[in-house]
Structure formats: C-alpha cells, structure tokens
Structure 1
Amino acid sequence: MNAFFTALAFLTRLPVPVRMDSQDWNKSASYYPLVGLVIGVLLALSNEALSLLFPPLVRGVLVTAGWVFLTGGLHMDGLMDTTDGMGSNRDREQTLSIMKDSRVGAMGVLAGILLLGIKASTLAYLDPAFAPLLIAPVAARTGMTAAIVFFPYVREDGIGLGLREGLSPFRLGFALVSGLAVIVFMAGWWTLLVLAGTVLVIALIAWMVLRRLGGLTGDVYGCMAESVEAAILLLWLAAVGGPV
C-alpha cells in the first residue's frame, strides 16, 4: 500500500501514512487512477452537501475551490507553466526554461482563470453532478498515466523519469483497467464519450508539445490532467445534461 499512499501524498493534500523511497515513487503512477477515484468521491460528496445549502453558481465555485485545495493546485501549476511556455513562441530551450520558472506569466494566469471558470460554471448547470465529478478525476489521471508511458520524456532529470521506469506493462495494465472499470461503472453507455474526450485532449496536447519540445514534462502531465477534467465536465453537460 505504500506506493498507493505515495501517489495519494503527491497528488493530494490528504494526510497519509507514507514513507517515501525511490521504489515506491516509481511504482506510484500505477495508482493514479485510484487516487483520482478518491478525489472524485470527495468532490461528489461535497457537491451533494453544498447543494443543500447554496444556489448552483455558488455551489459550483465552492466545489471548484475545494478541487484546487484538495490537489494543492499541483496540476493547475502545470497548466499555467505549460501555457506560459507554449504561448511564448520561443525556441525549445527557451520554452523549457520558461516552463521551469516558478513565476507565472500573463498567459498562464489567463489559462488558469479560464479553466477554473469553465469548471465552476459547468458544475453550476450539472444537476445531479455526482457521476461527472467522480469520472473526471479518474479519466484525467488514467490519461496522464498512459501519457507517461506512450510519449517520450524530454528532461534528463525530473519526476517523469522514475515514474516512466516504474510503469511496467503489468502496472500500466493495472492502472488502465482500474481507471476504465470506474468509468464504465459510472458512465455506462457514455463511456465511449468519456474515453473519446480523454484521448482527444491527451493526443492534442501531446501533438502540440512534441512538435516544439520533442517530449513531455511534468508540467505537461498536469496540463493534460486539468484539461481532461474540464473537457469531461463540458462533454457531460452537452451530451447528458442536455440544453439548459
């Protein structure tokens, strides 16, 4: 269980009994979809409770704020750094340097504001929102785990190297099957829509980044996770929620 707790400690702010070591870190990515399930359950339950107290728009904003707090803004940071770098129109080395810079530029701030706005406003119109709130974090982290394996990693040192090495075919299969099982159970016939949205977002971001950098970074993984979550909520509202 230590590898799971390592993943939970890295991807969330939840207090866990974890002893960090390199072996558990390398294995931890195989549990990312299950961490997504933990996040999704907490968000869905919070959404249900808040719906008893607040109107839809306030509820959507509060759930989104809780989403950021629960994950420590980890993937949001990746989204903003990636947007700053890719939006700079600089060469490969300069782009990587911008993405590594801890300061956030105008492009990153705009991307963060827009994405949070999409999440909050979409949640305001999703009623009930239990299924999409549970599915979105799982799909995002399942897609992120697949991206770690199927796309090259660009940096010579970084968090992605150990994760990539630790994702053996068996562990990758476990991650994909566990994520897919949750999605199928919650989405039913809409599973194909969720999978199509996840694959499309991951592939599009990977294509744009690979053209410029030749590989992905940890920031890009975070950008993928945030983008998939927002895309799943939008697709669910459009296809399942119907016109409002």
Structure 2
Amino acid sequence: MPDSWRLAVGTLTVLRGPAPRCVDRRTAGAAMLIAPLAVLPLGAGVALVLLAGRAAHLPPLVTGMLAVAVLVLGTRAFHVDGLSDTVDGLTASYDRERSLAAMRTGTSGPAGGAAVLLVLGLQATSMAWLAGQARGAVLVGTLVCVSRCALALTCLRGVPAARDDGLGAVFTESVPRLAAATSMLLSFVAVGLVTGWAGLPWWRGVIAVALGLVVTLLLVRRAVRRLGGVTGDVFGAAVELCLATLLVALAGATS
C-alpha cells in the first residue's frame, strides 16, 4: 500500500514525495483505486479557491476559471494533455497506427485544442454556478476527487492496452472488476451524501455519477474500437470528461 500511495500521489498530483520502491501491475491497480483519496489536496484547493473568490466578490466565472487553473497546475496539465492527444488521435485518421502516431507527437492540433477549450470552459462555468453558496464549493471539491474513479474503469481487467510501451502499459488491466465495482458504489454514496448536504436533491448526485461513468465507458469503448485499446492519454481524457460531466449534471440541478 505505501508504494501504491506514492505512485498515485506522484502520478496524479504535483506533490513531491519518495518514489515507490516497486511499480508492478498490482501496485498500479491499487494506485488507481485510491486515486480519489490521493487527490484530496487538489479537491481541497479547488474548494478553497471557490470560497475565497466568493468572499472577495469576484465575478463567478473568474472564480471558476481560477479553480480550473488550480487543477491544471496541480496535475502538471497531465490530464489536459491526455484529453488533447486523445481527441487529436481519434480525429486524425481511421487508421490505427496513424492515430497512435498523432497521439505520440505531444503537439495539440485543432481538434485537441477545441476539446480542451470546450471541456475546461464547461468545468469553469459549472464550478462558478455551483459555488454560489459555500456548501456548493465543498461539493465541487468532492466531485474533483470522485472524477478520478474514471481511472479504475480505464484500467479495468479486460480493457487491453493500445500499445506495449508508454505510461498506460503498466496500468492497463490492473484493476479487478470487483474492486472497480466497489469503487463505483462508494462514489455513488459519497456524491449522493454531499449533494444532499449541499442542499440539492441527493438523487441528482447519483444521476451525475451515473452519467460520468457512462461517458467514461463510452470513451473507453471508442478507444478500444479505434485504437485497439487504451493509453495513458485516454486515462487523462477520461478524468477530464468525467469531471465535466459531473459538474454540468449537478449545475443543472441548481437552475
């Protein structure tokens, strides 16, 4: 467990700590399962920024954009880069090898750039809307953490790797199905409870999580069909899309 914790924190946040002594499939799978806990500092940071912006009477959208900036900086733009590369790869060609080559370049094309702009814009505006009251900021911080449950689905056993090298090769197929199901159940409970505490119908939180999981599974399915499997970039895209879905679904509950 110490190695899994070090791997999760070191991979998913900018927090510095000792490197894991052993990185095998079992360690990687455990790291993906505890990912929501490993990013608790990021969730807390987002909540604090939203609360500070509200206290300073900043324009809501400015506060939302600052909160997204905390996430981007707190992850070294790791997931945003994955979103951009994944979209570029899926739109570059119907040929698998050409798509994977486009994802490896590390440069953002028009499709990837547009996807990042759209997804981060949805996140910022939804955060601003939900943070209209103090408890809403805590709800947003919770959603940041829960969105990392998407990683358990991308690393689920039975979901192949698109290639044998790269970051994704170690993590792919590392999460047992029962463990992933347990993680999903806990995410339903956590978001339902915090949503109710924040003054919204608890069942809207459950629906939001369900939608987030559906979007993640659709992305995984598309990646497997087009690329032959998932990559580290797909992991990042899944996190960003899941978070955007959670935020938009619950922002709609406050309208």
Contact 1:26 1:162 in 2 (8 A): no
Deviations 1:199-227 (A, max 9, x none): 22112212322221221111111111101
Could you tell me which residue of structure 2 aligns to residue 136 of structure 1?
A: 143
1:44 to 47, 52, 58: 47
Secondary structure, counterpart of 1:149 in structure 2: coil
Could you tell me which residue of structure 1 aligns to residue 153 of structure 2?
A: 146
The separation in 1 between residues aligned to 2:8 and 2:46, in whole angstroms, is: 18
2:33 to 30, 33, 41: 30
Change (3 A) 1:165 1:223: closer
Could you tell me which residue of structure 1 aligns to residue 204 of structure 2?
A: 190
1:67 to 71, 83, 88: 71
Secondary structure, counterpart of 1:61 in structure 2: helix
Could you tell me which residue of structure 1 aligns to residue 115 of structure 2?
A: 111
Contact 1:132 1:236 in 2 (8 A): no
Matches within 5 A, 1:153-232: 153-164=161-172, 166-168=174-176, 172=180, 175-176=183-184, 178-187=186-195, 188-232=202-246
Contact 1:138 1:183 in 2 (8 A): no
Contact 1:6 1:20 in 2 (8 A): no
- Stretch moving more, 122-131 or 103-112: 122-131
Contact 2:79 2:233 in 1 (8 A): yes
Contact 2:119 2:244 in 1 (8 A): yes
Deviations 1:94-118 (A, max 9, x none): 0011011112211111111122221
Secondary structure, counterpart of 1:22 in structure 2: coil
Deviations 1:172-201 (A, max 9, x none): 466445544532432333332122211221
The separation in 1 between residues aligned to 2:177 and 2:220, in whole angstroms, is: 21
Change (3 A) 1:207 1:51: same
- Stretch moving more, 163-172 or 85-94: 163-172
Contact 1:48 1:130 in 2 (8 A): yes
Change (3 A) 1:20 1:73: farther
The separation in 1 between residues aligned to 2:116 and 2:75, in whole angstroms, is: 14
- Stretch moving more, 89-98 or 39-48: 39-48
Contact 2:153 2:216 in 1 (8 A): no
Secondary structure, counterpart of 2:92 in structure 1: coil
The separation in 1 between residues aligned to 2:30 and 2:170, in whole angstroms, is: 9
Scaled by the length of structure 2, the TM-score of the pair is 0.84
Structure 2: 5+ residue stretches without partners: 196-201
Residue type matched to 1:30 in 2?
Answer: L
Could you tell me which residue of structure 1 aligns to residue 98 of structure 2?
A: 94
Scaled by the length of structure 1, the TM-score of the pair is 0.87
Q: Percent identity?
A: 28
The separation in 1 between residues aligned to 2:178 and 2:121, in whole angstroms, is: 38
Residue type matched to 1:236 in 2?
Answer: L
Contact 2:172 2:230 in 1 (8 A): no
Structure 1: 5+ residue stretches without partners: none
The separation in 1 between residues aligned to 2:21 and 2:55, in whole angstroms, is: 40
Taking CA–CA contacts closer than 8 Å with sequence separation of 6 or more, which of the two structures ends up with the larger relative contact order?
A: 1
- Stretch moving more, 116-125 or 183-192: 183-192
Change (3 A) 1:4 1:233: same
> Aligned-pair RMSD on alpha carbons?
2.3
Contact 2:50 2:128 in 1 (8 A): no
Could you tell me which residue of structure 1 aligns to residue 127 of structure 2?
A: 123
Contact 2:153 2:217 in 1 (8 A): no
